[in-house]
Structure 1
Amino acid sequence: MTTRRIFFATLLATSFAGLAALMALTLSPGGYTPLDLFILACFLVTLPWTIIGFWNAVIGLFVMRFSRNPVTAVCPIDHGDAARPLTSSTALLSCVRNEDAESLETNLSSMVTRLVRAGQAGHFTLYVLSDTDMDDIALQEQQMAARLQERFAGKMEVIYRRRSNNKGFKAGNVEDFCDRWGDQHDFALVLDADSYMSADAITGLVRRMEINPKIGILQSLVVGLPTDSAFARVFQFGMRLGMRSYTIGSAWWQGDCGPYWGHNAILRIQPFKDHCRLPELPGKGPLSGTILSHDQVEAVLMRRAGYEVRVLPLETGSYEANPPHLLEFIRRDLRWCQGNLQYRRLVGMPGLKPVSRAQLVLAILMFLGSPAWIGFMTGAAVLGMVTDYMPYRADTGAAVFFTVLTMVFAPKLATVADVLARKDLRKAFGGPLRVLVSVGAEILYAAMLAPIMAVAHTLFMGGLIFGKTIGWGAQARGVQRLPVPLALQKLWPQTLFGLAGLAWLSGQDIALVWPVVPVAIGPLLAGLIAVATSTRTLGNIAIRSTLWRIPEETAPPEELLDLHLPALAKGPAAVSGEPDLVQGDAKPAEA
């Protein structure tokens, strides 16, 4: 593993130095002014995540194509015997806050029912851990829990607990469970309100924990549920493609210092209790107090204690629901942004593994890259307007642009290459033509969405300086049309950014600047995009188009039928005799 990490660090350093030198050469005409140096500095801040994503994708593609068993190649742990009875006790932790009790009951009831049918329910206890601060919703939760207790009496114990003091948010919720009931169980499977896992996925994680006592956290690979939200449908298709190559590539070099995403993961309770309590950050302001992005901190603390943290890159049986509209997507990202920036106080914690320390730094850079990108784009535009000579070298500038563009989309392109090379995956994603059309549209969508998010991150980080905070409120679930005034009120800064970009583009030679047109068009149309992609009408059109199809729509797993998802009722699997763009002759890939 050390050799792999040295190799990856060498790739990262070499790529960083090469791109830095290429950008410096691009800015060399006329010498280096303070504005040139500012542009170069901003560019360098954006590079680490771009380069890491690229090399993760390249390594992931090689593993997927040339390894006999890609999962074992990057997660070399004993997977256990599926026929062997479980011997441990596992708590299923459903962590909720002001959620829709009906949807929650559907998910939990299906998961428990599946475990009962598998004959494994006796090894599990379901805990509904509520941080709800609205009495009417709390009453619905209590009634839901009572129904579950009655339905599964004698088969699985169901416990409901509502905290009156929400200290620590979700991390505090789990910590409270550990203090009250942790000694009664070996493991805890952490679930968000929108999480759903099959019985095979759940028992598979438990068996791996039973047979590998040095694993402290085992994270499953979470994929999006079939959705009738147009916004989420396109987004999670891109995530689905990018995630597999990226996760396999990162697991190849991170190994036992892997990620924890805070849900759909199993924890070894005793070391989690002993070593993963989060510190309270001293001081005042939004970056002090409770740590919002708790998961990565808990992962590095578990690794510091000598236990492994691993990700199991199997696309099977582990699901979540993605934000249904753009405003909720931004709000979730801003919470992560505030939480990740808190890591600056934790990077120097004693005893952390080098990879763990690097992960905290990279988590910070992930969001610092947004204002750096805004600064880079703005600085480059201003430089061209204030000089009476050509301030860039066209040849090296084009090389930088297309190299970075390739790196940005490499994770998606790598997985697409693997999908097109395999008959089962081609069929599962709807055929090669449908895959290519969907990918092209999603890349354009992502290119328009990226500057919208960058503006949101930048403004929010500016607000943190003046004490602005995001907190931990209830999350929006399900398709709901955004009011036009609300969208315009929230996204007017993006619109102004788009107008400024369009004004700049209008004075340029379109033959030279056409690749950056989405950078202006996306923010300019942010309000329209937000409203349109939140409507049920566009969601239905997206489903009926069969573009951005995921394998669970081609051949829905049996467990998903329990959820009565609108996307499956309206999707290709529900349409008898629907002609494919390209017919396949292989069985669908296992999702």
Structure 2
Amino acid sequence: MDPVTEQTAALPGVNTPDAMPPERPIAMPQQPLKSWSRSDERKPLRPEAWTTPWASRILVWTGAIVATGFGAREMYRVVEVGGVTALEWALLALFVVNFAWIALAFASGVIGFFALVGRPALVQPALPDRLTTRTALVMPIYNEQPSRVFGAVQAAYEDVQKLGFGAHFDCFLLSDTTDPDVWIAEERAFLELRQSLGPDARIYYRHRAKNHRRKAGNIEDFVKRWGGGYDHMLVLDADSLMTGHAVIALAAAMEADPDAGIIQTLPLVINRNTLFARLQQFASRVYGPVIASGIAVWYGRDGNYWGHNAIIRTEAFAEGAGLPDLPGKPPFGGLILSHDFVEAALIRRKGWAVYMLPRIEGSYEESPPSLIDVGQRDRRWCQGNLQHSGLLGTRGLHPLSRHHFLNGIFSYLASPFWMFMLLCGIALALQSKFIRPEYFTDEFSLFPAWPRFDAERALTLFGVTMVILIAPKVFGLIVYLLHGPSRRAGGGAIRIVISAILEIILSSLFAPIMMLVQSGSVFQILAGGATGWNPQRRDDGSIPFADIVRRHKWHTALGVVTLGAGAAIAPSLVAWMSPTIAGLLLAIPLSWLSGHLGTGLALKRLGLMLIPEETHVPEIATAAKANGQRLAAAGVDGADALVTLHDDQRFFVEHERMLPVAPRRQKGAIEPDRVMAAAKLSEAETLGDAIVWLNQKERTVVLHDRALLGLLARLPKDAPSPAE
């Protein structure tokens, strides 16, 4: 017997349950994009439930079209004085596109307001008498802090167990982690969790050696190998948290609707303390329900999927959501990044319903802690959404699925359109100030081409635009204030109104900064620059001031130039652009303030930006935090992977048990990282040598290779003393 195996064979705890259950494979074919037949669409089992909300759709689209028509007419009258120049036509076109965007959101908000007014925005769902199906709670993770992630999963698992429905739910942590230290920390957290919950706990863990196709590939791998054992899967992000009531309610909703493919919840932001994160948290809680209710009403069963905090029928996902790669190279070709929109569209194409239940209480998430963190996350989302332009022509899609694609695309194109509109306004003002009008051109005209504006009408239109832009927030605020428990738990009406005003002001100042950040992302992607896949920062904390200055110095410089140009042209122009100019001039201190923990906590102490989930903290959030602290105290985070494996023989054996069977190496195929790792381990005299010599890729190879692990285990921890 191998000496290492001989040493560890009798260790206590080695005969623990497998990290994953037996595989239950299910086919998941790749879906065609350029071919589709109606015969490929399934027939609904309950056609009477397929009611299309035509009335609300007509109201939304009619309202958006009428409002856009009004805005276009008024803007034309603003610029038509003395004739419309080419630059004014460009300004008009950009204004209409942006106005149409906010008009649609306004019309949707009206629908959401009337759907919720007089009713609580969130309701704890009643528990069903029984369940007959099995659901997998699936959480893909990528280089996250293990104690936090595993603590949240434990809280959700125990909450479901406490309600008596534990037999119907299994939990899966699906790791795509590439950092070897984090990977080993995940395994230690998993074993700690298993020890805490007992050997019968149905919590499982799987680590992929290669994160092929990223998150979409991670979920696809699970479905293909284990999906056959589950009727549904409830997909969570690494920062997601769901109560047992919410989890069970989603499973019951799926059982009650045999045609449902995806049911999405509204995840509310909680546990946030920096200024920027508290703004997002307050907006999510106060405005989010009205916005979500509006789109839920008029989308009906033709909705969208946000990638997490949603339950998916495994059969629907397997038969309809196999993603192909897009033709061409990144950023527009290759792997589909924003896969959730596409999965929803393909599942709907297959004949399954996709809809939202926005009033289910107990669906939570977290948000990035600062403006810079949001910009980094948005860079990847921007590429994924712009990539959807190549999917608009996919055969067989429902019209609203194409609308979801367009909506996502324009959510990023809106920023450069806004920027171009501002530049057009500045150019027109410069033209009228410094360029002599040409009264007599080669073309016959009764009037000279001279850029002039109807200032009074422009001011009125600006006011109307602001009203339409802010109205959905006001709708959400009214619904929130009318609900007594929410109003009292949120600090009372006066504090809530002050918080809403503060949120609107700060959001207006942050908006021009995000406009330039997103515009830069759009231009880089259009120029062919693809993005990577970096883990998100979850914790509160500030960014070094030097990094903030480096990232925002050009935004500040543009604010200075805009202020100077505006002041030279006309004071009225400065007044009109004051929110944009102020945001850019203050970009550096605003960005610093956004991630400042003390400012956010000071507002919390004053009762501002307070949400009910802070006054009455959900039990599951308290449990998740306590679980995470316990795991952190057990030392699962931050240890060196090689030291951990070398020093803990029991864990060494458990790690080997969790490794998949190594694929047979093709003769003559040399893996440079493995060769280098083997050479370094062979020459190392102590564990310290191996730690110093092995780089991160070589460490990862060692952790995957049983033979190299054997070499590591044989190394003495310290060099022998000279006397020995």
Residues 208-241 of structure 1: CA deviation (Å, up to 9, x unaligned) = 1111111100111110113222220022212322
> Are residues 112 and 99 of structure 1, via their aligned partners in 2, closer, same or farther at CA, if it must alter by over 3 Å?
same
Alignment counterpart, residue 500 of structure 2, candidates 427, 432, 439 = 439
CA deviation after TM superposition for structure 1 residue 446, in Å: 0.7
Quote the Cα distance in structure 1 between the aligned partners of 2:539 and 2:182.
Answer: 17
**Matching of residue 130 in structure 1 with residue 175 in structure 2:** yes
Q: Which blocks of at least 5 consecutive residues in structure 1 are unaligned?
A: 73-78, 566-591
Amino acid across the alignment from 2:518: H
In the alignment, what sits opposite 1:546? 607
Alignment counterpart, residue 340 of structure 1, candidates 357, 372, 385 = 385
SS of the residue 2:530 aligns to: coil
Alignment check: 8 A CA contact 2:274 2:594 kept: yes
Quote the Cα distance in structure 1 between the aligned partners of 2:580 and 2:537.
Answer: 27
> Are residues 178 and 48 of structure 1, via their aligned partners in 2, closer, same or farther at CA, if it must alter by over 3 Å?
farther
In the alignment, what sits opposite 1:205? 250
CA deviation after TM superposition for structure 1 residue 190, in Å: 0.5
Alignment check: 8 A CA contact 1:226 1:550 kept: no
Alignment check: 8 A CA contact 2:348 2:354 kept: yes
Alignment check: 8 A CA contact 1:53 1:410 kept: no
Quote the Cα distance in structure 2 between the aligned partners of 1:173 and 1:48.
Answer: 38
Alignment counterpart, residue 499 of structure 1, candidates 556, 560, 565 = 560
> Are residues 48 and 163 of structure 1, via their aligned partners in 2, closer, same or farther at CA, if it must alter by over 3 Å?
farther
CA deviation after TM superposition for structure 1 residue 434, in Å: 0.2
**Matching of residue 107 in structure 1 with residue 152 in structure 2:** yes
CA deviation after TM superposition for structure 1 residue 481, in Å: 1.7
In the alignment, what sits opposite 1:299? 344
Alignment check: 8 A CA contact 1:437 1:547 kept: yes
In the alignment, what sits opposite 1:360? 405
TM-score in terms of structure 1 length: 0.90
Q: Which blocks of at least 5 consecutive residues in structure 2 are unaligned?
A: 1-52, 434-449, 627-724
Quote the Cα distance in structure 1 between the aligned partners of 2:518 and 2:582.
Answer: 18
In the alignment, what sits opposite 2:59? 7
Quote the Cα distance in structure 2 between the aligned partners of 1:81 and 1:323.
Answer: 32
In the alignment, what sits opposite 1:585? none
**Matching of residue 269 in structure 1 with residue 321 in structure 2:** no
Alignment counterpart, residue 103 of structure 2, candidates 51, 56, 63 = 51
SS of the residue 1:281 aligns to: coil
In the alignment, what sits opposite 1:349? 394
Alignment counterpart, residue 161 of structure 1, candidates 193, 206, 218 = 206
Residues 148-190 of structure 1: CA deviation (Å, up to 9, x unaligned) = 2222335432221112222221111111110010001011010
Quote the Cα distance in structure 2 between the aligned partners of 1:520 and 1:317.
Answer: 40
**Matching of residue 17 in structure 1 with residue 69 in structure 2:** yes
Alignment check: 8 A CA contact 1:121 1:156 kept: no
CA deviation after TM superposition for structure 1 residue 147, in Å: 1.7
Alignment counterpart, residue 127 of structure 2, candidates 72, 76, 82 = 82
Alignment check: 8 A CA contact 1:452 1:522 kept: yes
Quote the Cα distance in structure 1 between the aligned partners of 2:398 and 2:388.
Answer: 15
CA deviation after TM superposition for structure 1 residue 275, in Å: 0.4
Name the stretch that deviates more: 464-473 or 254-263. Answer: 464-473
Alignment check: 8 A CA contact 1:223 1:315 kept: no
Quote the Cα distance in structure 1 between the aligned partners of 2:541 and 2:504.
Answer: 25
Name the stretch that deviates more: 375-384 or 148-157. Answer: 148-157
CA deviation after TM superposition for structure 1 residue 513, in Å: 4.8
In the alignment, what sits opposite 1:308? 353
Alignment check: 8 A CA contact 2:64 2:106 kept: no
Structure-to-structure mapping, 1:227-306, within 5 angstroms: 227-306=272-351
Residues 289-335 of structure 1: CA deviation (Å, up to 9, x unaligned) = 11111111111111111111111111511111100111111111121
Quote the Cα distance in structure 1 between the aligned partners of 2:561 and 2:152.
Answer: 46
Residues 524-582 of structure 1: CA deviation (Å, up to 9, x unaligned) = 222222222323322322221220011111222222222349xxxxxxxxxxxxxxxxx
SS of the residue 2:388 aligns to: helix
**Matching of residue 214 in structure 1 with residue 259 in structure 2:** yes
Alignment check: 8 A CA contact 2:264 2:306 kept: yes
How many pairs does the alignment contain?
Answer: 558
Alignment check: 8 A CA contact 1:129 1:173 kept: yes
Amino acid across the alignment from 1:499: V
Residues 351-407 of structure 1: CA deviation (Å, up to 9, x unaligned) = 111111122112111111110000001111221121157622123212221111112
SS of the residue 1:341 aligns to: helix
CA deviation after TM superposition for structure 1 residue 63, in Å: 1.6
Alignment check: 8 A CA contact 1:229 1:478 kept: no
Amino acid across the alignment from 1:30: G
In the alignment, what sits opposite 2:270? 225
SS of the residue 1:411 aligns to: helix
Name the stretch that deviates more: 411-420 or 436-445. Answer: 411-420
In the alignment, what sits opposite 1:184? 229
| Percent of aligned positions that are identical | 33
Quote the Cα distance in structure 1 between the aligned partners of 2:569 and 2:284.
Answer: 34
CA deviation after TM superposition for structure 1 residue 80, in Å: 9.1
In the alignment, what sits opposite 1:37? 89
SS of the residue 1:392 aligns to: coil
Residues 473-521 of structure 1: CA deviation (Å, up to 9, x unaligned) = 1111111221111111122232222222322443466567536322111
Amino acid across the alignment from 1:422: H
